[in-house]
Chains A and B, each alone.
Chain A
């Protein structure tokens, strides 16, 4: 008696049902994700949030180093040899940036200013740069600035592209060369026009200590200098 090929054992039929339902579910989920991603459109990403602590004292006044005293004048007779400020309280430079929830991790290089007066950015988008004229992370005041490419020619997306997924309260950790670490939590994300970044307070040297992560944000206009905005994520030191 020839076996009918379409007859299957109940077990196998059950497997098929499960597989079929599973496949449909996967398909449905993928459709959902597709719709979500596609409809959310680009370059609009998750919205900005939070407010940035920016109460910089009147440090733009270079004469503030002088303590205000009442007249008539009485000069101190034997001042220290040099009237420069004392160095930072904690001078160990940063070595690694990480955002554990996002699995984001990048080595940190000190960077300066290029010939055009712009911040240098490490060419390797898997590395980030600490603007070495900003306070070291862990300093008592000011904005410690870390920059990184969002993408780079021939190298794909940069590690700081992950900042698009950052959420309020995310933990950010800066490991320092001396083996210690400074922990932060994200309080704000802003999309700032390229022209407005310098005046945005991201580079303030005084005021509350914050970590400021900067990369690029769309829209991308190839004929108009590329990215039009910077993505600026601000984190405050976490009390741990």
Chain B
């Protein structure tokens, strides 16, 4: 189980810096590759009560983007995007509710999350989604705290799986695939903040659970994102036991065959010889 800060995620995924980059993607042309490489980006709106329009520069990407909505993953050219989030209808000339420039690195799979800070201010963070292979029979579970709430524990079947998770951090683990009953409690307590909720942790997938909303406004909730296709083949099929099958036909069967042949030949010879005598 690893807990990683959003800072670490940002370091590998998205450099955040307020800037003036225009909407046109600044193509990342590395020294060796002229072609434009792409990244996979999903966007989650996790700011309660605020329908927004999302712009990249002056171009509107997501009109009427409602809280609790997660977009399909989208292939984006790698590069720098100036993301502005406006209250519905106020863009693009008004003052954005959130503004950040995100670097979308080639090959990354990331989720851009508009959410509240622990003390309730709208913000934008990018999380890199772990798409490395998952061992056979396992599922990856990622939990991200993007709610205006204090540190929490995440429990599965009543047992804490992740402890002391703070906004805007994430934690992940590989667990047995299957359905778990999960809830979120205030860290170190049995005070349930969210849930319980049934989570279907599919084998070979990464199930990403966002705890979002606001404790003060009593609208804490879970949102789930699933990324599939990281399954692995099992290490083998141990389908043998004694070696009996490897002996071709067993010695006993061979012996029986031989004995049967001798017996039948003997009987035939005897019967025919007696007939000759009789003739």
- The answer to whether A and B come from one shared complex is yes
Residues of A with Cβ closer than 8 Å to B? 6-8, 13, 16-17, 19-28, 30-31, 33-34, 37-38, 40-45, 59-69, 71-85, 112-113, 116-119, 121, 125, 131, 133, 147-153, 155-158, 160-161, 164, 194-195, 197-199, 202-203, 205, 214-220, 222, 226-227, 230
B121 within 8 A of A: no
Give 25 CB contacts A-B under 8 Å.
Answer: A17-B275, A20-B270, A30-B258, A34-B257, A62-B109, A62-B229, A62-B230, A66-B75, A72-B23, A72-B56, A75-B43, A79-B71, A81-B68, A82-B70, A82-B225, A84-B228, A117-B137, A117-B234, A118-B237, A118-B238, A133-B204, A151-B240, A158-B241, A194-B236, A205-B231
Interface size on B, residues (CB 8 A): 86
B268 with A75: CB separation less than 8 A: no
Q: Which residue of the partner chain, among A30, A112, A149, contacts B239 with CB atoms under 8 Å?
A: A149
Chain B 171-224 residues near chain A, CB threshold 8 A? 177, 202-205, 224
B243 with A227: CB separation less than 8 A: yes
B245 with A76: CB separation less than 8 A: no
A24 with B278: CB separation less than 8 A: no
B35 within 8 A of A: no
Chain B residues with CB under 8 A of A68: 38, 75
Q: Which residue of the partner chain, among B59, B66, B249, contacts A78 with CB atoms under 8 Å?
A: B66
Chain B residues with CB under 8 A of A69: 74-75
Q: Which residue of the partner chain, among A71, A79, A85, contacts B77 with CB atoms under 8 Å?
A: A71
Residue with the greatest number of chain A CB neighbours at <10 A, chosen from B25, B202, B225, B246 = B246
| Complex Cα–Cα for A65 and B219 (A) | 31
Chain A residues with CB under 8 A of B138: 113
With A45-B248, A152-B242 known as contacts, the answer to whether A197 contacts B62 (CB < 8 A) is: no
B30 within 8 A of A: no
> Separation in Å of the B114 CB from the closest CB of chain A?
13
Residues of B with Cβ closer than 8 Å to A? 23-25, 36, 38, 40, 42-43, 54, 56, 59, 61-66, 68-77, 109, 131, 135-138, 177, 202-205, 224-249, 253-254, 257-258, 260-272, 274-275, 277-279
Residue with the greatest number of chain A CB neighbours at <10 A, chosen from B56, B65, B235, B270 = B235
In the complex, the chain A residue whose C-beta lies closest to that of B53 is A77
Chain A residues with CB under 8 A of B59: 72
The 3 closest A-B pairs by CB, nearest first: A42-B248, A113-B137, A23-B268
With A16-B274, A63-B109 known as contacts, the answer to whether A133 contacts B224 (CB < 8 A) is: no
| Complex Cα–Cα for A23 and B36 (A) | 82
Chain A residues with CB under 8 A of B203: 133
Chain B residues with CB under 8 A of A157: 244-245
In the complex, the chain A residue whose C-beta lies closest to that of B250 is A157
In the complex, the chain A residue whose C-beta lies closest to that of B203 is A133
With A27-B265, A75-B74, A81-B70 known as contacts, the answer to whether A133 contacts B237 (CB < 8 A) is: no
Chain B residues with CB under 8 A of A13: 275, 278-279
B268 with A83: CB separation less than 8 A: no
In the complex, the chain A residue whose C-beta lies closest to that of B231 is A205
With A71-B76, A78-B66, A133-B177 known as contacts, the answer to whether A33 contacts B234 (CB < 8 A) is: no
With A6-B278, A150-B239 known as contacts, the answer to whether A66 contacts B233 (CB < 8 A) is: no
Chain B residues with CB under 8 A of A80: 72
A17 with B272: CB separation less than 8 A: yes
> Separation in Å of the B255 CB from the closest CB of chain A?
10
Chain A residues with CB under 8 A of B224: 82
A66 with B136: CB separation less than 8 A: no
A77 with B75: CB separation less than 8 A: no
Chain B residues with CB under 8 A of A8: 278
Q: Which residue of the partner chain, among B77, B235, B268, contacts A20 with CB atoms under 8 Å?
A: B268
B245 with A153: CB separation less than 8 A: no
> Separation in Å of the B79 CB from the closest CB of chain A?
9
Q: Which residue of the partner chain, among B74, B77, B257, contacts A66 with CB atoms under 8 Å?
A: B74
A43 with B247: CB separation less than 8 A: yes
| Complex Cα–Cα for A86 and B228 (A) | 11
Chain B residues with CB under 8 A of A77: 62-65, 71
Query: Given A27-B266, A227-B246, 11 more contacts at CB 8 Å?
Result: A19-B268, A21-B268, A27-B261, A37-B257, A42-B246, A131-B234, A151-B244, A203-B136, A205-B229, A215-B239, A227-B243
| Complex Cα–Cα for A230 and B234 (A) | 13
